[in-house]
Structure 1
């Protein structure tokens, strides 16, 4: 209906309401307009007329049997006209009531063109912003379209956050294989299925998408926005709004949701109220939660309910995720796994892991990158033979780096990379020469620029900083635009009175590499990040510098010093020899003390200097590598070290490393010279136990203590060990606590002293042993072999050694891991049914102090609560004896 007709109708209504026109006159003069107005509502209004007894049932049937809504309206008006003035007045009142209520709710229908125009304009804006991706370090004018990218999703059950270590990208290749093999725990989905109902549940409203750095989370967001804007998918949504936490971090005052939206999507101002009122058609994406400066402040006691209510960012974000603000909207949060514990996961209805490329997709990417399917497949086959390179290629960002390096290396006559630092050094050389069109050696001006970029990276690393304003670069005068554009990403952020350019390294590992580059080549550092006092003062936690140290070691290696000298004309670093001495001494110290040594072995591997092993001569070789989910390169690093240091291994701790049978076979020659081997908290399936049994039966076996606790062992695997031990003459203690072994299997195992004289104890705390059987085992002749509960008769030294190992693990565990590990330990201690001892009380006191300290500094609310609960459990256990 045209605007003139609407005005005429409203004028006639006003005239009738003011008594200037009779109801019958109004119905006759406005008949055409009334037909238009009531066409959509005839079913409702005729029912109302019947309920109010304006018309009879016969009249009602006469109306509804008319063919079509317009004829029905005319029929109803004819009936009212015949009923007289009073009925006409009642009908006019009913008409006004319907018009006010219905038209108020259906305002967009009156403004359908304007609303549809708003949707299309929004899609045009999104399409312009997301039609292609400026990929990492592409040349000016070079574009990569979404048809060249892959987004592979894996839907998993539960909260995927356990034990992702600091440098998660190095372990994700192995993690991805693990996830793919656990078919009962996952379901592959496409992007289009992300918001759909699966398994007879309602469509999810709150979705968490996690993935390691560089895996493609931001590309995933852009792909959704591109497909939505291109009307290719997501027809359930009228509007899609995206926010990055990187941008939100610069808002430092209370703000309303309306202001947040209009700051980025000002074109929605005239229809934003309707969007709020119909939030079931709204998709909101919050990208990069791991970069949110207030990520630990979402444990809210008060919520925001009104889009026009001012609040701090944590309250707005928390209220959105919790579903208190715009409860019908669909909210997607993306994050690296390291901080998802801070997200209120009880509100999340779907957990999704971005798994990056599959093996087939890696090969396809190589073929596309090189523009030749045959040549691309040849390069792919070479990469697949290198575990390290291949593991990196699961991550799209690094797949591009690997391809760029290999392509550039062929023209620059650079040796094939063997280590991570090799990759990044070649990456630096390739970009400097190709992006700056310097095919000959890089000149001094460009080298000064690289060192300035290194100083920026180093100072930012000291301050835990990953973002900086463009004006921050004014203190780095030697940074030309070519260098900035090659290694830094730029984001434009709207401030109160102006726009600001925010810069960051294209990836955090790139920043760590440049920081190490600067450290290796600068003799006068303002602060030495390797100094323990500096680390304490700057609150640099364990693990924060792991990758920096690896890069530093690789940069100070002979092979990369030669590369940098040849291609960048960089003088050899004067720190190389001092660093190698420090590395050898540190490895010796950690080996002798049984300290955590994982990252030092990686640093040794980065050196690729076999003769350095001659300096590593510890009095005792003890290697603690626990609580790392090993990737193939990790096993290569361990094998590399053990092949160089040819001495007996006093202790090797592979607890909770997800070691598998393939790599255990690879390590078997070295395990034969191991005295104490700990492999608990791994999934020791039949294939793994077969390898362990082969190890125990070997005539070269030297193992005296073997730990297989909390490894999901069943009776079958336990009895498989029993058969192997009949042929073993070295094992003294077998620790299989916290498994699923029955008392019947233990009974069968009990005659093992008849076959071997070496085995003294089999520790079985926390298995499937009823309390009654514990008493029976104590009375058996083999009670000194089967240890099914804590018995003081074995002596304090026996149990103290076990406890020292547990407490040592706790000291290096994350807060989340401590909860998981100590819960398992508690289940073993809880079978103790005798009078408590003074040394056990000491244990409980130590645990209490440890948990008190961790609770005090824990910033993750749900983990903190679990630690408090665990603390109470231990103290109750202590007081019950």
Structure 2
């Protein structure tokens, strides 16, 4: 019956003909069932339809077959039915299967000849779709060639090891600098190296590309597709398919991978089988995982194995990502860092962070934006001298906003921007003046109502944690003038079977928060007051989610921006200026006294740019807690601005786990002499940073009593630098250097410190590189009492209780991911600590065990939950060795 359906028997030989007289057709089907399932999957639809037409199958039989998930399951079901129907049906089945397979083989030959042409056709389609780069708010008809306007983005190997606790755009700054400046390994990665193997490892197949909003993830995807279509890179692939989660959100019923692809790449429908069969030549890109409405449901243990198997969308995506579906295909996923914890990272081969523009790339962007070398150079020169603006410009979306504002604001005679809100206020005025058809339309009440309507959309969406809006969902959008919609909203049309779906979003996430703040500032009758803590609890608005909103609100209610709106938008002053000012002063005083996290309030104070407010800031003590917020240059600006205005002794400055470095400490040097407690632990401090701290300690004006340098990678050189600086210090009482890399040799020298310093009472060295013999030797030193190298009863339970309370308090402040990172360091410190002969330490472990168990029960992210469970077991085993 031909070779198309011939299958190998158990001995590896193939029967020459199905109609061998020695066996029946039924026996043949039973004997070669496994191979038939493999061979007939690509033509099961045709076989089933032919069987129905020839009355060889009943309608019930046919429906049972086609409702099976996947072609292999359908072949299995058909074979089961044939075996029940008898020998004659088996003969008929073999006959029509041979005919259909023969026909398909001839078609396949034709397909093989056409295959190169279809590859080129696909590249032509991609080139047409990606030859122009889209600038935010481009005027109608404006087009910019991608090759002429693309500016390189810096990519680094690595990923976010800590949560982005506060607004991701504003906390990413220092981490970005840390990644870009890291010298111990080459991290830079060109876009064409994304799927190439580095060193001797095999090429990665599952790549996660992360970056904050506006950093250029979608443009990076466009770069991949553009280079692939132009044959500049990714030559090992025949096809590159891109899908956005924004479009996938419109799928609300079970589907198949084939259907998903055909929605956007319908021109490939006839050769998808060929593409699937050669999946090692396939690159699939999924853009915008953070916008996926099912992002929390992808870490599943239920898999799809066939492109034609019908399943829910998260199941299909999860199967692709984990290599259960098309395991040889290469998958690239882009996402903002806020939802990375939902991705099953065990299946990711390479983590890449887009860190935006460097200084040279910012300059390149200005030149390409203005298309005028003189103006581009002049404007870049102004921005590079403005530390605040230049820092913002590492984010491409901000870079575009700054360029747009500076390009046209001079004609409006507006003072140059000083804060982030200033830039956005100018941006609003510029777009209303120059990007709407009616230049004077801002004078009309209708235009103001439209802006308020846009603000209402932004505000209500912020309450609901929404960033995407669908045309059929919002009456507000339908009531807005097209000019307003086109200026501030991105519009995507997605073709469905029976309609075209309209999907909108603000051109940038920060613009949504700006408009939300604008609405709050000027709307009298709010449905919900988002500043009310009870409302925040009701709407599940967590800590840090409103940081940028409140900063924008502070800037909008400042005197200078109120004046701008009155002049250019004919907008009356807000009635909330004084009430907001009272709230800000009250919060600043309270946070300073209690030591609450204060960085966002300092940003709000900076946004006001009113030095007269300082007279109303009168806390009893000044405690500034910045911990666990990755410090950026802008954060440094607002901190020094505040300390420069508030002339008080600093009771406590907590910079734990902020990535501070020598540069930041140098900028803070004028204020550190009036600081009594300084905590800079969990930062990787080099010798330059330690030199700055030593300069403070050696100053005759130093008031520091407690210094925390735990888990800072401190080594002997740095530790002995501190030792020598303490020869000139008469204020420090406690030095905390636990969890570092200090050897016995350095500790032995340091133990002589009581001979010349009478104020230092203890130096805590838990978890350093000390062996049992070292501890014994230290015990014989005449000045050993200042060295605290193990947990014992010498310093008493109360002393150690204070240390443990501090650790436990940190845990309560951290989210689950941060807890794992922090407690792993604590575990190492306790594990390296010898001589734990105290009965009361057992109470710590019981308290910690209960705490971790509660976190495990409330953790909804599987991979983090497993890590906490592992950590809990580690501490349990450690406690048994007390």
Normalising by structure 1, we get a TM-score of 0.86
Shift of 1:243: 0.7
Task: Give a deviation string over 1:197-235, Cα, whole Å, max 9, x none.
Answer: 332333322222122111111111122222323344333
Other structure's SS at 2:821 match: helix
Displacement of 1:862: 1.8
Residue-by-residue CA offset, 1:42-72 (whole Å, 9 max, x unaligned): xxxxxxxxxxxxxxxxxxxxxxxxxxxxxxx
Asked if 1:575 corresponds to 2:582, the answer is no
Contact 2:735 2:764 in 1 (8 A): yes
Residue in 2 aligned with 1:746? 747
Q: Which runs of 5+ in 1 are unaligned?
A: 1-15, 19-98
| SS in structure 1 at match of 2:671 | helix
Measured in 1, the distance between the counterparts of 2:607 and 2:845 equals 42
Work out whether residues 488 and 506 of structure 1, in 8 Å CA contact, stay in contact via their aligned partners in 2. Answer: yes
Q: Secondary structure at the match of 2:366?
A: helix
Find the counterpart in structure 2 of residue 275 from structure 1: 275
Partner of 1:307, secondary structure, is coil
> What does 1:417-436 correspond to in 2, within 5 Å?
417-436=417-436
For residues 720-754 of structure 1, give each alpha carbon's deviation from its aligned partner in whole angstroms, at most 9, with x where no partner exists.
Answer: 11100011000000000000000111011110000
1:185: how far off?
A: 3.1
1:94-133, Cα deviation, whole Å (9 max, x unpaired): xxxxx99999889654334533343333233323322213
Alignment of 1:485-500 (within 5 A): 485-500=486-501
RMSD, aligned CA: 2.4
1:265-414 to structure 2, matched below 5 A, reads 265-414=265-414
Question: 1:155, 1:186 within 8 Å by CA — same for their partners in 2?
Answer: no
Give the secondary structure class of the aligned counterpart of 2:473.
Answer: helix
Task: Identify the residue that residue 468 of structure 2 maps to in structure 1.
Answer: 467
Q: Aligned equivalents of 1:283 and 1:851: distance in 2?
A: 41
Give the secondary structure class of the aligned counterpart of 1:242: strand
Residues 150, 357 of structure 1: 8 Å contact kept: no
Residue matched to 2:202: 202
C-alpha distance in structure 1 between counterparts of 2:656 and 2:414, whole Å = 39
SS of the residue corresponding to residue 669 of structure 1 reads: helix
The 1-side partners of 2:497 and 2:779 are apart by 76
Q: In structure 1, what is the Cα distance between the partners aligned to 2:126 and 2:363? A: 31
How has the CA–CA distance of structure 1 residues 562 and 869 changed in structure 2, closer, same or farther, with 3 Å as cutoff? same
Number of matched pairs? 786
Give the Cα separation in 1 of the matches to 2:313 and 2:269.
21
CA distance in 2, matches of 1:173, 1:373: 29
Larger Rg: 1
* Structure 1 residues 189 and 514: CA distance shift in structure 2, 3 A: same
Please give the residue correspondences for 1:784-823 in structure 2 after superposition, counting only pairs within 5 Å: 784-823=785-824
Tell me what 2:132 maps to. Answer: 132
**3-state SS of paired residue (2:283):** strand
Cα contact 1:153–1:353 (8 A) shared by 2: no
Label 1:496 to 1:756 Cα distance change in 2 as closer, same or farther (>3 A). Answer: same
2:856 aligned residue: 855
Partners of 1:422 and 1:560 within 8 A in 2: yes
1:214 paired residue number: 214
Q: Hey, what's the Cα distance between the residues in 1 that align with 2:325 and 2:478?
A: 47
Counterpart secondary structure, 1:524:
coil
1-structure distance, mates of 2:437, 2:500: 32
Report SS of the residue matched to 1:794. Answer: coil
* Residues 583-602 of structure 1 mapped to structure 2, 5 A cutoff: 583-602=584-603
Match of 2:61 in 1: none
* 1:869 corresponds to 2:870: yes
Distance 1:337 1:535, change over 3 A: same
State how far apart, in whole Å, the 2-side matches of 1:269 and 1:147 are: 30
Could you tell me how far apart the structure 2 residues matched to 1:101 and 1:108 are? 10
Q: 1:478: how far off? A: 4.5
Contact 1:153-1:352 at 8 Å conserved across structures: no
Deviates more, 1:443-452 or 1:870-879: 870-879
For 1:643 and 1:543, the matched residues in 2 are separated by: 26
Residue 253 of structure 2: aligned partner? 253
Do structure 1's residue 673 and structure 2's residue 674 form an aligned pair?
A: yes
Q: Match for residue 556 of structure 1?
A: 557
2:53: which partner in 1?
Answer: none
**Bigger mean CA deviation after superposition, 323-332 or 378-387:** 378-387
Corresponding position of 1:182: 182
Who is 2:122 aligned against? 122
1:814-853: per-residue Cα shift (whole Å, max 9, x none)?
Answer: 3211111111122223325343333x34433432343233
**1:193 and 2:196 aligned:** no
User: Structure 1: how far apart are the matches of 2:400 and 2:148?
Assistant: 12
8 A Cα contact 1:319 1:325, kept in partner: yes
* Bigger Cα displacement from structure 2, 108-117 vs 615-624: 108-117
Distance in 1, matches of 2:136 and 2:761, equals 60
Question: Which residue of 2 is the match for residue 7 of structure 1?
Answer: none
Residue 156 of structure 1 contacts residue 185 of structure 1 at CA under 8 Å; is this kept in 2? Answer: no
Deviations 1:492-547 (A, max 9, x none): 12334212101111111111110010001111101111111111111111111111
CA distance in 2, matches of 1:732, 1:844: 29
Aligned-pair distance for 1:153? 5.2
Give the whole-Å Cα distance in 2 for the aligned partners of 1:247 and 1:744: 63
Aligned partner of residue 618 in structure 2, secondary structure: coil
Q: Which residue of 1 aligns with 2:23?
A: none
Q: Normalising by structure 2, what TM-score?
A: 0.86
SS in 2 for 1:649: coil
Change (3 A) 1:231 1:279: same
| Aligned counterpart, 1:640 | 641
Does the Cα contact within 8 Å between 1:697 and 1:724 map onto a contact in 2? yes
User: Could you list the per-position Cα deviations for residues 401-452 of structure 1 after superposition, in whole angstroms to 9, with x for gaps in the alignment?
Assistant: 0000111221111111111111111111111111114545532211110000
Contact kept, 8 Å, 1:157 with 1:185, in 2: the verdict is: no
1:441-840 alignment to 2 at 5 Å?
442-475=443-476, 478-830=479-831, 831=833, 833-838=835-840, 840=841
| Conserved? CA contact 2:255–2:312, under 8 Å | yes
